Amino acid sequence: MIQGTAQHFLRSPAGLHFLSIGLPWFCHLARPSPNLRLVHGRLRVSVVLDLKHVVALTLASLNGIGAGPAETIQPAVIADIFFLHDRGKWNTLYWVIYMGSLMVAPIISGAMAENVGWRNFWWLYTALVALSLGMVVFMFPETKWHRQHPSETIRRSIAEPGAKAEGSEKQSDGVLEQGDANNELGHVDTAARDPWLGRGKPSKAQWGLYTPNPDPVRAILLDLWIPWKLFAFPIVELAAFTVSWSCSSFLTLNLTQTQAFAAPPYNFTTEQIGFTNFAILVGAMIGLFTAGPFSDWVSARQTAKNGGIREPEMRLLAMIPYVIIMYFGNIIVSVGYENQWPWQAIVIIGYTCAGIQVAAIPGIASTYAVDSYKPVAGSLFVAITVNKNVWGYGFSKFITNWIEEDGYIPPIMTNASLILLWCLCAIIFYYYGKTFRRWSKNSSVHRM
């Protein structure tokens, strides 16, 4: 069984992609030389090779340390620089590019493994990482700007009794009151009120490699603690589980496509299996151009009906068509695999549905959480990523054996039903999400 599983993994484009991350150079270093054993003795050589083994595994784990921030920083940047009414569109773009890389990688790795060997793909991967590092250093300014919370302004005003209120605002008994002059706002164009809007550019300080912090130790400790604290918030739990299982639906295809298409009656090569991911990529593009704008439109319509007051829960209605697409796609894939349908039906319909839902559902669910807890958007995505990767790793460990024992339908549809369960929980949040947010209204996460 282990040998069969290993063969499936090595023949899979996704398996070759994972393998390229940390193993090629390790296998070269770990191969012992007979002459080395003869000259220096078996014990010393074994100790040295074991140390190499430990070092190799440690260095391979560093890939995760680099990949983790890459997953979580970008949604925080979106929350930093884009307004609430546009956030759904840009968050969906993030998910499409993020998941799109996982769709394109098997296409490229499958073709390269078939024609020029997987080592060349490893070097291509290394070059792309180096390119992205250079782009981050030279093209990515700092976007975080701490906007003072009203409570911070009040405390500072109390600490400085001689300070005068600015403009028409006045301080009375620690409560910020608005002067009569601004009770009625005139209809002035935004450009007239703020002529610099849209014309600014990053300062030199924003291009620095290090951003000064008055208390760096406290900041680091908070970054380590806040993601775990957020797991106690119901809205974060909903986003984490919805995103995790939606992504696992796409992961299912990566883990089963070789098992299904390399066997008769298809007998696909590694390159052909990789090309099936084009359908997922097309689906992701459909999700990109529909989900983000659609969720923003639904939220805007609900806001107009609510007297101009926007609530984060309004966005959840946009999940409905994509949940239907998700479940339909999983039915097509599982039943098609089991009954060996023509590959065109499985790939064009089932794989495309998977691409649509993995672009839409995570984007909508995570945007809802960011709208609720914007100051900790980065930590929020750390919590989501931890949840997603733990489930994805565990799921990858048992799905192959489960398919060998019971066929394709039970594991794939069980996973799809779990996705449906978490998405149905959004109904509760649509009606009671404001109550859940009220529970955490005094939390320190709103003042980060």
Residues 261 and 329 in one domain: yes
Give pLDDT, residue 134: 87
Q: Which residue(s) pair with 172 in the sheet?
A: 175
User: Is 134 part of any domain?
Assistant: yes
**pLDDT digit string, tens, across residues 183-201:** 455 555 655 666 776 777 8
- Asked if residue 420 has pLDDT above 90, the reply is yes
Give me the mean pLDDT over the 115-122 stretch: 86
| Percent of the residues in the chain that have a pLDDT greater than 90, as a whole number | 32
Give me the mean pLDDT over the 391-397 stretch: 88
- Asked if residue 372 has pLDDT above 50, the reply is yes
Give the whole-angstrom CA distance, residue 215 versus residue 398.
Answer: 45
Residues 322 and 341 in one domain: yes
Residues 44 and 71 in one domain: no
Tell me phi and psi for residue 175, to 5 degrees.
-115, 130
More confident residue, 183 or 67: 67
- Asked if residue 415 has pLDDT above 90, the reply is yes
User: Is 154 part of any domain?
Assistant: no
- Asked if residue 17 has pLDDT above 50, the reply is no
Residues 76 and 42 in one domain: no
Q: Where are the alpha helices (DSSP H) in 407-442?
A: 409-439
Residue type at 146 in one-letter notation: H
More confident residue, 51 or 81: 81
Give pLDDT, residue 135: 86
- Residues spanned by the domain of 46: 2-58
User: Is 200 part of any domain?
Assistant: no
Where does a domain end: 21, 36, 58?
58
Residues 6 and 86 in one domain: no
Residues 336 and 260 in one domain: yes
User: Is 419 part of any domain?
Assistant: yes
User: Is 249 part of any domain?
Assistant: yes
User: Is 386 part of any domain?
Assistant: yes
Give pLDDT, residue 152: 58
User: Is 390 part of any domain?
Assistant: yes
- Asked if residue 33 has pLDDT above 50, the reply is no
Among candidate residues 61, 437, 387, the one with its CA nearest the CA of residue 228: 387
Burial environment of residue 162 by CB neighbours within 10 A (0 to 12, 13 to 18, 19 or more): exposed
Where does a domain end: 32, 58, 84?
58
Give the whole-angstrom CA distance, residue 143 versus residue 145.
Answer: 6
User: Is 384 part of any domain?
Assistant: yes
Give pLDDT, residue 178: 44
Where does a domain end: 58, 76, 100?
58
Query: Measured on CA atoms in the order 250, 341, 414, 291, is the torsion positive or negative?
Result: positive
**pLDDT-based confidence at residue 155 (cuts at 50, 70, 90):** low
**pLDDT-based confidence at residue 43 (cuts at 50, 70, 90):** very low
Give pLDDT, residue 63: 67
- Asked if residue 330 has pLDDT above 70, the reply is yes
- Asked if residue 310 has pLDDT above 70, the reply is yes
Residues 361 and 236 in one domain: yes
Give pLDDT, residue 190: 59
Give me the mean pLDDT over the 142-152 stretch: 67
Give pLDDT, residue 350: 96
Least confidently predicted of 62-71, 240-249, 353-362: 62-71
Residues 389 and 287 in one domain: yes
Q: What is the CATH number of the domain that holds 81?
A: 1.20.1250
Number of independent structural domains in the chain: 2
Rounded mean pLDDT of the chain? 78
- Asked if residue 25 has pLDDT above 60, the reply is no
Residues 286 and 402 in one domain: yes
Give pLDDT, residue 41: 45
**pLDDT digit string, tens, across residues 214-271:** 778 887 888 889 889 999 999 999 999 999 999 999 999 989 998 999 999 999 998 8
Residues 338 and 422 in one domain: yes
Give the whole-angstrom CA distance, residue 444 versus residue 291.
Answer: 32
Helix (H, G, I), strand (E, B) or coil at 142: coil
Give me the mean pLDDT over the 371-375 stretch: 86
Residues 228 and 310 in one domain: yes
Tell me phi and psi for residue 199, to 5 degrees.
-115, 0
pTM of the model: 0.73
Residues 376 and 434 in one domain: yes
Least confidently predicted of 161-165, 274-278, 308-312, 417-421: 161-165
Give pLDDT, residue 408: 96
